[in-house]
């Protein structure tokens, strides 16, 4: 009986590990499969245009949903390289891809560093941490190590380094573990990504647009309910009046 329980637990553990492995690779796999289809994703087209560029990052800069019954989904990307920093126009994306990236606003979806690709979504800064070409580790008053970027780092302004909180060694170690497993890294305190506090501070337009859309949706729903109630009351009054004649 004991051996049976042990075997069951081992099988359950293996199934759980397999689940997380598949989930971790799903985002990367979606990118690869999209590149093989007739209509590649906009981010795949951008990636192809950067072929031969040793250092770049493609950030999900903005996203929106339009329509009520038949919805369309759009992304804006920020393309960051040592020589270029641009934001694309709105690009239409499939619903399934929009949903899979819904939590990744402000994150680097994929890119290249030193000619090596990375596909684990993370805050744009993190891919350059730990590389002596871009900065060095320093020790703060409390004894914690944090990363200090060089001011002459080519992407310092493009990445808006000054707007980010310090990157501590412990957080960077967690990022590396996630990257190795192709799992998104939202920060030690989940401050990045669509629901992160940092994102809410740096992208107020997105959240204002979301709030406005939600208000319009509720207003529209309320109006439809009021009209239905009005029609029901009119129908009841009509039947009551008819029965009295």
Q: Mean pLDDT check: name the lowest of 68-77, 98-107, 149-158.
A: 149-158
Q: List, as one string, the DSSP characters of the chain.
A: -HHHHHHHHHHHHHHHHHHHHHHHHHHHHHHHHHHHSSS--HHHHHHHHTTT-SSEEEEEEEEEEE-SSS-EEEEEEEEEETTEEEE---EEE-HHHHHHTTT-TTSEEEEEETTEEE-S-B-GGGGGTT-TTTEEEEE-TTS-EEEEE-TT-TTTTTTTGGGSPP-BHHHHHHHHHHHHTT-----TTS-SSTT-HHHHHH-HHHHHHHHHHHHHHHHHHHHHHHHHHHHHHHHHHHHHHHHT-
Tokens read off for 30: 């979606």
pTM of the predicted structure, to 2 decimals = 0.74
Say yes or no to pLDDT of 36 above 60. no
Q: What is the pLDDT of residues 81-120, one digit of tens each?
A: 988 889 999 999 999 999 999 999 999 999 998 889 988 9
Q: Mean pLDDT check: name the lowest of 19-23, 86-90, 221-225, 232-236.
A: 19-23
The mean predicted confidence, pLDDT, of the chain is 81
């Amino acid at each position: 009986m004991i051996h049976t329980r042990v075997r069951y637990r081992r099988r359950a553990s293996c199934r759980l590990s397999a689940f997380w492995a598949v989930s971790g690779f799903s985002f990367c796999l979606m990118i690869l499969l999209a590149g093989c289809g007739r209509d590649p994703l906009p981010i795949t087209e951008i990636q192809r245009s950067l072929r031969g560029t040793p250092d770049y990052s493609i950030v999900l800069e903005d996203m929106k949903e339009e329509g009520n019954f038949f919805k369309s989904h759009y992304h804006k990307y920020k393309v960051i390289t040592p020589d270029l920093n641009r934001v694309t126009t709105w690009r239409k994306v499939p619903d399934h891809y929009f949903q899979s990236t819904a939590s990744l606003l402000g994150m680097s979806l994929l890119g290249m560093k030193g000619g090596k690709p990375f596909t684990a979504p993370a805050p744009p800064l993190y891919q350059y941490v730990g590389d002596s070409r871009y900065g060095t580790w320093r020790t703060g008053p409390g004894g914690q190590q944090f990363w200090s970027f060089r001011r002459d780092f080519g992407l310092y302004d493009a990445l808006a380094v000054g707007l980010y909180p310090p990157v501590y060694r412990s957080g960077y170690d967690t990022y590396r573990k996630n990257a190795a497993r192709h799992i998104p890294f939202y920060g030690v305190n989940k401050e990045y990504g669509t629901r992160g506090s940092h994102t809410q501070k740096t992208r107020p337009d997105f959240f204002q647009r979301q709030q406005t859309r939600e208000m319009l949706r509720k207003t529209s729903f309320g109006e439809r309910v009021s009209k239905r109630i009005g029609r029901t009351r009119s129908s009841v009054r009509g039947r009551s009046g008819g029965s009295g004649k």
